[in-house]
Structure 1
Amino acid sequence: MNSSLNRRAADADVCLLLEGTFPFVRGGVSSWVNEMIRAYPETRFGIVFIGSREEDYSGAAYALPDNVVHFEAHYLYESAPADARPPREVNGDAAAFARSAQFHEALRDARSHADIGKMMTELIPMLGTDGALSEAQFLHSREAWRFIEEQYTRHCTDPSFTDYFWTVRIMHKPLWQLARVAAKTLPARVYHTVSTGYAGYLGALMHYRTGRPLIVSEHGIYTKERKIDLLQSRWIRDNRGLFERDVSNVSYFRELWVRFFEALGALAYGAAQQITALYEGNRLRQVADGARPELTCTIPNGIDVEGLRPLLALRSPERPRRVVALIGRVVPIKDIKTFIRAIFIATRTMPDIEGWIVGPEEEDPTYARECRALAQSLGLDANVRFLGFQRISDVLPKVDLVALSSISEALPLVVLEGFAAGVPAITTDVGACRELIDGFSADDRALGSAGAVVPIANPGAFSQAALTLLGDDTLWQAAQRAGLERVQRYYAKHQMIDRYRTIYEQAAGLPDADAGAGPGDAGARCPFHHERADVAPRRLSFRSR
């Protein structure tokens, strides 16, 4: 591990549980985590990072802020050291596996089962090395074999028991790894997971082990994103014959993986004291996935409006408007190819239009090469520029429109940063983009449109929107004013920081006697349920322990 990450402490005020993000991966979530930690310099943070394999992360992309007192990283798919001892067959605890079977049945209808938290509290001690439901018991006991066999007979619609057996084993292995992590992770006054999934499961374990509050924040909806990945994956077997396959039905093993991540999400929601989303659409999705409505709220991302304001003065009023910039990673979910095709269509009307692609290409080199080849095949050498990673402050004063052609987003910061620098935007109709462009309330909508919203994967509509805004000075200036006013009024960073400050203080300030209170008990309601309001800045200060 990088020596700069070697920080250990006996405890922390807030322990962040992070899956595949900060400090190793750049991007919106990592940037948000970095800003959040730095916003509370008097708060002692611990970080538990969960990744795939250590070799998948080339090194820290962010320096740990000084108030990160503890850091640990765990990798779920590392090869375990060989055990010289041969596996030992055991009978297993029939009562423990029966209790596990009840728990699995409860998870099938987690939203209507009130005892999942109690059941999980009972099961956690059994997951330990010497427990009745330890990994060794799962791998080598007769009761585990009977349990898997019975579940296959009752539920599996795929003919291959072998594939079912190994899928169940692979699926469950990280759960014991995370149980071992939870048994050793530092105590904290508040646990905060920035997703559901494995980090959310670890958060649920920590809540039920310690009784301390858990906060769940989601930028995107983890279960939705994993479902997209799983439906596109090629490593999951589909044993149906050619004439048995119905494209409208998902293969059993894909469905099994989807249900697995849905169950992890339900466990995190059930353990959480408060659950936040970036915008109302995602909050409603959380409720549909099992979150209790009274524990949910929307806290949109905020940006440093005042810090970006000087970029507005750097814009040249004499330069003709013709530069459209897509600022983001060159990966399929950003649909860079639609942006390139839109520029190609626009050149027929505006030959000197420029499309800038500003973002790293290392994440998916094959896709990046395809994008470059597409631009070249369309004869766009003079119109499309691949600029790689750039500082936002160097780019925004030189562009006239921010473009976002993604097929999936939550609340993209780049659109807000463009607004603060005086740049309108064209976005696809994903995530919170329509709220950002057109407003979310009557007062917000009265500010006017800050650009245009177009359908997904529609280069013609994207091109027309760009030509309309670039070709009409009055319309462009109105969009600029609307974006500036919207970001200043509703998306300033201090608003986000102070809302989370209130949540942290509410969670950490619970009396010890109430620390194990379940979600929905007195004091657990989200303080910003359905609200967006200006909050006066305050300082977060945990009293001495």
Structure 2
Amino acid sequence: MARVCLICEGSYPYVVGGVSSWIQDLIKSNEEHSFSIVCIIPNEEFAKVKYEIPKNVVEIKNILLDKPYEISHLKVLRNKISFKKFEEDIKSVLNFKSNDSEKVLKVINKISDKKYGNPLEIIINESFWNSLLSYYKQNYEDVGFNTFYWTYRNIFLNIIALAQEEFPLADVYHPVATGYSGYVSVLAKLKNGGSLLLTEHGIYPREREEEVIGAKWIEKEFKKIWIDFFYFLSRLTYDHCDRIISLFEYNKGLQIENGADEKRCEVIPNGIDIQMYSEVERERLPGFNIGSVLRVVPIKDVKMMLKGFKVALPKLRDTKLYLIGPTEENEEYYKECLELVENLELKEFVVFTGRADVKKYYKFLDVLMLTSLSEGQPLSILEGLACGIPFIATDVGNCREILKEKEEGEAGIIVPPTSYSDLGEAIVTFFQNREKIKEMGENGKKIVAKYYTKKQFIDSYKELYKELGE
């Protein structure tokens, strides 16, 4: 039996979604192993369990990134002397471009020693200030120092806080992303020994890059700092991995491009319980029923979906759009979506179901949609196809490869991200061609049965846990 420590950032067991469902399946299907869960979350209010925790989970450890700290001015005064020798070391890691991960970790470990106090006591010492000031004058003197300082202060508070944590003992540390999860897994491996197995569902720094570019709260001049930081965390994780898993070949190529060792990379696709979904009894309901299984959050681009539906609506008859999934994760965005439904005069056509049993809707939906800005290998597509429902999906992640599979035939239509006009055309195409719906639905069943079974997915990880846990 192996001791496995799964490391999650802002997901399982507190957020419902594809990654969390994947983790739940992985744990429940590996009863011979014990699991610890390390959850990196923003605050205590976030920690509301949304899953029934399997019996082989022996520990859940929450790490809060938004902690209040008290300051001992005596410790700060002592650090003024102790940290003088660290100024050049600190400066050497500020651009997040170093390829020498061992050197970077040595610097982080030196300055994070608990004898210097808590993360805030360490950050506010004079040497840290001097290092930042010197780096600022060399690289950013034409922009405001205040925002520059707070950007680095926030980044290093998290880096140091995580470095001061204690982690569960494990034979295998298994982060489900790079980012802070990957960084924590590296720290845990170096502190406690064990192997490091990374599974990336999407490419973390690319997803964060998209968010940072669109973020209004980050000033333009400082977006590059955050982007470089997230790519740095990925390189750091890759350097210390024993095995690196992606869900499909394209993402494997991106991992290698971003610094992963090709010899340690492999592809293990997602898998679903074919029998469970194939047993869903389909029933033809009146009208044309469209659905989307999703979390109502910006990355799913629900607004684009609503606009595309509005474009198609004049050519449809007796139609409904069901948005199936939780709405509470980003209440502001959900409110904006409701306002858009009102403004587009769609209230009688659009249903937000909230959290629901998706199989209830798989029984009668004619077509499913996914309009995400970024994805890995969506479980919702695999589930829908297994039920015989074709898809309209944006050209992100593995969507094209799944839906345009060459041997078994096409199982859906691919549209460009953000293009609601193309989405509207695709909806009309399906509405006007019932034979296409039937044909693509049958193709989808064959694709999932051939490439994406739960057994294939679970057996692959059983073998990895056995190999890395010995």
Q: Same fold (TM over 0.5)?
A: yes
d(CA) in 2 for partners of 1:490, 1:227: 31
Match of 1:408 in 2: 374
Tell me: CA distance 1:78–1:135, structure 2 relative to 1, closer, same or farther (3 Å).
closer
d(CA) in 2 for partners of 1:324, 1:53: 37
Which deviates more, 288-297 or 24-33?
288-297
Tell me: CA distance 1:380–1:158, structure 2 relative to 1, closer, same or farther (3 Å).
same
Task: Give secondary structure in 1 for the equivalent of 2:276.
Answer: helix
Tell me: CA distance 1:129–1:425, structure 2 relative to 1, closer, same or farther (3 Å).
same
Alignment of 1:516-535 (within 5 A): none
Tell me: CA distance 1:137–1:421, structure 2 relative to 1, closer, same or farther (3 Å).
closer
d(CA) in 2 for partners of 1:282, 1:122: 31
Are positions 1:176 and 2:152 aligned together? Answer: no
Match of 2:56 in 1: 67
Tell me: CA distance 1:125–1:380, structure 2 relative to 1, closer, same or farther (3 Å).
closer
State whether residues 308 and 421 of structure 2, in contact with CA within 8 Å, keep that contact through their aligned partners in structure 1: yes
Tell me: CA distance 1:127–1:274, structure 2 relative to 1, closer, same or farther (3 Å).
same
- Deviation per CA, 1:339-395: give whole Å up to 9, x if none: 223333333222212211222222233332332333333333332222222101111
Residue 46 (structure 1) shift:
0.9
Alignment of 1:353-368 (within 5 A): 353-368=319-334
Count of residues in Structure 1 that have an aligned counterpart in Structure 2: 469
2:420 to 421, 442, 459: 459
Please identify which structure carries the higher helix content: 2
Residue 481 (structure 1) shift:
1.4
d(CA) in 1 for partners of 2:194, 2:415: 45
1:139 to 124, 133, 142: 124
Match of 1:316 in 2: 283
Match of 2:434 in 1: 473
d(CA) in 1 for partners of 2:172, 2:56: 15
d(CA) in 2 for partners of 1:459, 1:126: 50
Which deviates more, 402-411 or 162-171?
162-171
Task: Give secondary structure in 1 for the equivalent of 2:164.
Answer: helix
Residue 434 (structure 1) shift:
0.4
State whether residues 108 and 163 of structure 2, in contact with CA within 8 Å, keep that contact through their aligned partners in structure 1: no
Residue 274 (structure 1) shift:
1.1
Match of 1:231 in 2: 213
| 1:79 alignment partner AA | P
Residue 257 (structure 1) shift:
1.5
Are positions 1:151 and 2:112 aligned together? Answer: no
State whether residues 12 and 46 of structure 1, in contact with CA within 8 Å, keep that contact through their aligned partners in structure 2: no
Alignment of 1:228-267 (within 5 A): 228-236=210-218, 238=219, 251-267=220-236
2:261 to 292, 298, 308: 292
Task: Give secondary structure in 2 for the equivalent of 1:398.
Answer: coil
Match of 1:7 in 2: none
Residue 138 (structure 1) shift:
4.5
Match of 1:33 in 2: 23
Are positions 1:482 and 2:463 aligned together? Answer: no
State whether residues 376 and 398 of structure 2, in contact with CA within 8 Å, keep that contact through their aligned partners in structure 1: yes
State whether residues 7 and 39 of structure 2, in contact with CA within 8 Å, keep that contact through their aligned partners in structure 1: yes
d(CA) in 2 for partners of 1:190, 1:86: 37
- Deviation per CA, 1:183-203: give whole Å up to 9, x if none: x22211111111111111111
Match of 2:347 in 1: 381
Residue 469 (structure 1) shift:
2.3
Residue 73 (structure 1) shift:
0.7
| 2:244 alignment partner AA | I
Match of 1:189 in 2: 171
d(CA) in 2 for partners of 1:359, 1:119: 41
d(CA) in 2 for partners of 1:292, 1:92: 38
State whether residues 93 and 132 of structure 1, in contact with CA within 8 Å, keep that contact through their aligned partners in structure 2: no
1:270 to 231, 239, 242: 239
d(CA) in 2 for partners of 1:147, 1:365: 40
- Deviation per CA, 1:163-212: give whole Å up to 9, x if none: 3233222210111211111xx22211111111111111111112222332
Tell me: CA distance 1:56–1:210, structure 2 relative to 1, closer, same or farther (3 Å).
closer
- Deviation per CA, 1:7-63: give whole Å up to 9, x if none: xxxx97111111111111111111111111111001011111111111234x11112
Are positions 1:161 and 2:130 aligned together? Answer: no
Tell me: CA distance 1:485–1:133, structure 2 relative to 1, closer, same or farther (3 Å).
same
Tell me: CA distance 1:136–1:459, structure 2 relative to 1, closer, same or farther (3 Å).
closer
Residue 254 (structure 1) shift:
1.3
The unaligned stretches of length 5 or more in structure 2 are none
Measured on the aligned residues, the alpha-carbon RMSD in Å equals 2.5
State whether residues 276 and 299 of structure 1, in contact with CA within 8 Å, keep that contact through their aligned partners in structure 2: yes
d(CA) in 1 for partners of 2:19, 2:119: 34
d(CA) in 2 for partners of 1:459, 1:412: 20
Tell me: CA distance 1:382–1:130, structure 2 relative to 1, closer, same or farther (3 Å).
closer
d(CA) in 2 for partners of 1:108, 1:347: 50
d(CA) in 2 for partners of 1:367, 1:118: 42
Residue 94 (structure 1) shift:
4.8
d(CA) in 2 for partners of 1:119, 1:348: 59
Match of 1:116 in 2: 101
d(CA) in 2 for partners of 1:382, 1:152: 56
Which deviates more, 396-405 or 374-383?
374-383
Q: What TM-score do the two structures reach when normalised by structure 1?
A: 0.80
Identity of aligned residues (%): 31
State whether residues 127 and 135 of structure 1, in contact with CA within 8 Å, keep that contact through their aligned partners in structure 2: no
State whether residues 208 and 271 of structure 1, in contact with CA within 8 Å, keep that contact through their aligned partners in structure 2: no
| 1:179 alignment partner AA | A
State whether residues 92 and 137 of structure 1, in contact with CA within 8 Å, keep that contact through their aligned partners in structure 2: no
State whether residues 356 and 384 of structure 1, in contact with CA within 8 Å, keep that contact through their aligned partners in structure 2: yes
Are positions 1:21 and 2:11 aligned together? Answer: yes
d(CA) in 2 for partners of 1:333, 1:168: 26
d(CA) in 1 for partners of 2:233, 2:11: 19
State whether residues 12 and 186 of structure 1, in contact with CA within 8 Å, keep that contact through their aligned partners in structure 2: no
State whether residues 189 and 196 of structure 2, in contact with CA within 8 Å, keep that contact through their aligned partners in structure 1: yes
Q: Say which one has the larger Rg.
A: 1
State whether residues 71 and 121 of structure 2, in contact with CA within 8 Å, keep that contact through their aligned partners in structure 1: no
Residue 423 (structure 1) shift:
0.7
Task: Give secondary structure in 1 for the equivalent of 2:11.
Answer: coil
State whether residues 346 and 353 of structure 1, in contact with CA within 8 Å, keep that contact through their aligned partners in structure 2: no
d(CA) in 1 for partners of 2:256, 2:439: 37
Task: Give secondary structure in 1 for the equivalent of 2:39.
Answer: strand
d(CA) in 2 for partners of 1:68, 1:12: 12
Match of 1:492 in 2: 453
| 1:327 alignment partner AA | V
Task: Give secondary structure in 2 for the equivalent of 1:74.
Answer: strand
State whether residues 143 and 221 of structure 2, in contact with CA within 8 Å, keep that contact through their aligned partners in structure 1: no
Residue 424 (structure 1) shift:
0.8
Match of 1:128 in 2: 113
Are positions 1:346 and 2:312 aligned together? Answer: yes
d(CA) in 2 for partners of 1:268, 1:350: 49
